Amino acid sequence: YRRWRVLSAHMAQYYADFSLSPSQLMDLRNDFIEEARKGLRGEKSTCLMAPTMVDILPDGDEVGEYFALDIGGTNFRVIHVTLSMDKGEVVHVEMEDNAIPEEYFTCHGDMLFDLLASALVDFAKRHGRHSDDRPLPIGFCFSFPCTHTAIGEAVMVKLTKKFENEGMVGQDPAKGLQRALDRQKGNFKVAALINDSVGTLAGGCYVDADTKIGVILGTGTNACYAEQRSNIAALAKGRKNGREQQHPLMAINTEWGNFAAPSSPFTDIDRELDEETPNAGSHRFEKMVSGMYLGELARRAILRLAEQAQLFGPEVPPQLREPWALTSAALSKIDEDGSWLLSTTARELSETLGLPAALCTHTTCLRVKQVCHLVARRSAAVVAACLAGLLQQIDRDGAHTPMAPTTIAVDGGLFEHYQAYRAYLREYLDQMLGKQVSSLVKIVQIRDASSMGAAYLAAAIDEET
Ligand code: ADP
């Protein structure tokens, strides 16, 4: 009985820490708006609010065939799309994913660009149908930190993930790719240089012209939205080139993964996890939200229950001490478990965590499921709060409501494969905006958003020139 009481007390604490009240969510929303505005003004802020220089977005009227290249992890992708005369329709898509051979993570940057360029030229020979002599504009989705200086122009700030290539940092990746394409005699022009969140925004805009926000909810998280130029301090200093009147909006890369504020609902478990990560102290929002971390947060919460409230009996199963052993995919299966006596949860615990079946009793599984549920719901809640903040920022003059129907485009495995999560996000957005306003806000999933978005953007730029 004592064990049951201790366990219940711990669970009650988790419910208190991980469930956010409407007023907590409003505080978070307001703090996010404040951080975002500081970033836009060029003041110190946890949200970078970087101007992407993308001031043209597709509207679905683009027609023709376009290519894009997309690199950001262990693979790169080449893609060819044929855009229909019908608004927002795509006639045909071909894409090819290529693994990046090990030596290309450490070679000179030029060699890496040669790899991309030759794959594109080769792919275009096999799939392209264009025959005119004019260089075909391509979209380049390059998901590394860059400072953008013009629509197809940037300076690379740093290499991330496994990449250690010389000759990249401080250089323009669009020029690097262009030179490689020229070396390969590819008749292409790098028109747009974007990251995956801009791609999601552009991808959304092509299929639904009401799209104002692009969100990544995958291994990491980020958001990008269309902002009035006049609100972006960095542009006031920059050179004017006459585009300002014609293109009053620009896509802003919020880098909200790093967002933190007094109202951020950090718990002891978040602090513990943060300390164990190589980028401790940064990306605190991402660590509450994204697919990389949700499973690990739940594992830590379950481990505490095992240590302090004997969730699995007197012994703590050693497998539970293994960092990152619980993936977000497992967490989602457990949260969505509707099976008789939670047999799916029991199976996940024994298969992914390697816990002996005898320890996975129904009451234990129930607690585990509650923890997973709380962790996932908090993620959706804080994302909804920031989205409500962005909607408010987009519609500053509109009496706290989005005046026009607004679409939020989302890409990423967390959103795509976790149905209940999508429902939580909708529920919190309804709660924050009120049913009536919320009914004007659509959340749509855009598959392959970064590469498709890059191709659509190349089309939009091509149409303008
Ligand atoms: P990335 O973000 O790495 O570019 P994805 O958008 O495909 O790639 O997202 C992959 C991530 O999505 C995984 O790291 C995982 O965290 C998360 N994920 C994949 N499947 C599921 C699932 N069924 N439930 C919850 N999260 C999932």
Name which residue sits closest to atom 5 of ligand 1, judged by CA. Answer: 413
Between strands 211-217 and 406-411, the pairing is parallel
Between strands 153-156 and 146-150, the pairing is antiparallel
Look at residues 128, 117, 40 and name the one whose alpha carbon lies nearest to residue 81.
Answer: 128
Please check whether residue 367 lies inside any domain of the structure.
no
Following DSSP, what letter does each residue of 348-415 receive, concatenated?
HHHHTS---GGG--HHHHHHHHHHHHHHHHHHHHHHHHHHHHHHHHHTTTSTTS-SS-EEEEEESHHH
Identity of the residue numbered 286: E
Q: Identify the pLDDT of residue 418.
A: 98
For the chain, the domain total comes to: 1
CB of residue 414 inside a 6 A radius of ligand 1:
yes
Please check whether residue 92 lies inside any domain of the structure.
yes
Look at residues 440, 442, 431 and name the one whose alpha carbon lies nearest to residue 409.
Answer: 442
Please check whether residue 116 lies inside any domain of the structure.
yes
CB of residue 372 inside a 6 A radius of ligand 1:
no
Please check whether residue 57 lies inside any domain of the structure.
yes
CB of residue 203 inside a 6 A radius of ligand 1:
no
CB of residue 329 inside a 6 A radius of ligand 1:
yes
Low-confidence ranges of the chain (pLDDT < 70): 128-132, 238-240, 397-403
Domain that holds residue 172: 51-208+447-464
CB of residue 415 inside a 6 A radius of ligand 1:
no
CB of residue 257 inside a 6 A radius of ligand 1:
no
3-state secondary structure of 169: coil
Please check whether residue 78 lies inside any domain of the structure.
yes
Mutate to test the pocket of ligand 1, among 215, 417, 421 (most ligand atoms within 8 A of CB): 417
CATH code assigned at 69: 3.30.420.40
Q: Identify the pLDDT of residue 231.
A: 93
Mutate to test the pocket of ligand 1, among 142, 161, 219, 283 (most ligand atoms within 8 A of CB): 219
Please check whether residue 176 lies inside any domain of the structure.
yes
Please check whether residue 111 lies inside any domain of the structure.
yes
The ipTM, to two decimals, is 0.98
Please check whether residue 457 lies inside any domain of the structure.
yes
